[in-house]
Amino acid sequence: MEYTISNLANLSGVSTRTLRYYDEIGLLKPHDINDSGYRVYTQHEVDLLQQIIFYRELEVPLKDISTIINQPSFDQTIALEEHYDKLLRKRNRLDTMLTTIEKTIATKKGVTTMSDQEKFEGFKEHVISQNEQNYGDEIRNKYGDEVIDNSNKKFKNMSKAQYDDFKNLEQRIGDLLQQAYQTGDPSSAVAQELVATHKQWLLYTWPSYSTEAHIGLAELYIHDAAFTAYYERFVTGGAQFLRDAIVTNLSVN
């Protein structure tokens, strides 16, 4: 089966303008250009476009999609299984968010009551969703699905008081990181307090703790752009400093 660009646009819901752009950047090139100068797409391009749409739904940047689908080892069946798993988790998180909103509306109208625990279910799902979006692939590849799923479950089961403590520790880490960075010494007293607070923060979500895992996570802070950006928002150079502080202080213990 062959499709013109208009046929493929109608079939997929992707505009002809977008398809032309995909062609220009090398993301999805037509199989051929016919004698009349029209782009011609075959089943292979149709299947690749489906993959692109799935990745876009998961908010993967175009440049990353191009790298993924153009790898010689790219397997569409495996990719589809991964899409299914990620979209299922996304749907479950959205379902929880919607349920929380519905209960909140009903509570505001006096139709029902809502516990503090229930009020924060949606917020916690949002945090999990953002973490999966920003760091999911990296941490799942490093620690495995079971560990991350258990971590998410532990986070969702937090009480309101625990959640408040967790967020306060997150802010404390930012404050300590700024102070410790100013010393320039990853072994300073304030850097040691930073590492201890960071460990305490991790324990709220980690099913189990080890210094090796903590150091391994710290390496992601300097090798993964999303992790780096998270700590750089506190102070420029903060990700590298935190990594050095964790390695320095945990390696001697």
Same domain, 11 and 56: yes
Non-local CB neighbours of 173 within 8 Å, separated by 6+ positions: 194, 197, 198, 201, 234
Same domain, 100 and 137: yes
Same domain, 120 and 104: yes
Q: What is the pLDDT of residue 227?
A: 85
Residues written for the chain:
253
Distance separating alpha carbons of residues 76 and 83, to the nearest angstrom? 10
CATH number of 22's domain: 1.10.1660.10
Average pLDDT over residues 198-214: 91
Same domain, 151 and 166: no
Of the chain, the percentage scoring pLDDT greater than 90 comes to: 45
Write down which residue in 53, 69, 85 finishes a domain. Answer: 69
User: Is residue 69 a contact partner of residue 51, using CB atoms and an 8 Å limit?
Assistant: yes
Same domain, 179 and 237: yes
Same domain, 94 and 44: no
The DSSP letter of residue 15 is: -
Q: What is the pLDDT of residue 162?
A: 86
Q: What is the pLDDT of residue 98?
A: 79
Same domain, 9 and 86: no
Range name among 76-80, 133-137, 174-178 with the lowest pLDDT average: 133-137
Write down which residue in 35, 69, 103 finishes a domain. Answer: 69
pLDDT digits (tens, 9 = 90+) for 183-197: 999 999 999 999 999
Residue type at 136 in one-letter notation: G
Specify the number of domains making up the chain.
Answer: 3
Same domain, 214 and 226: yes
Does the pLDDT value for residue 118 go beyond 70? no
Sequential DSSP letters for 146-193: HHHHHHHHHHHT--HHHHHHHHHHHHHHHHHHHHHHHHT-TTSHHHHH
Average pLDDT over residues 214-242: 91
Write down which residue in 48, 69, 90 finishes a domain. Answer: 69
Same domain, 58 and 85: no
Here the tokens at position 46 are 């149709």
User: Is residue 119 a contact partner of residue 101, using CB atoms and an 8 Å limit?
Assistant: no
Does the pLDDT value for residue 253 go beyond 60? no
Segments forming the whole domain that contains residue 125: 76-156
Average pLDDT over residues 43-59: 90
Average pLDDT over residues 101-119: 74
Same domain, 181 and 247: yes
CATH number of 223's domain: 1.10.490.50
Using CB atoms within 10 Å of the CB of residue 48, give its burial: 0 to 12 exposed, 13 to 18 middle, 19+ buried.
Answer: buried
Q: What is the pLDDT of residue 35?
A: 82
Same domain, 149 and 202: no
Average pLDDT over residues 31-53: 91
Return contacts of 190-194, CB within 8 angstroms, 24+ apart: 191/241, 191/245, 191/248, 191/249, 192/245, 192/249, 194/242, 194/245
Same domain, 167 and 246: yes
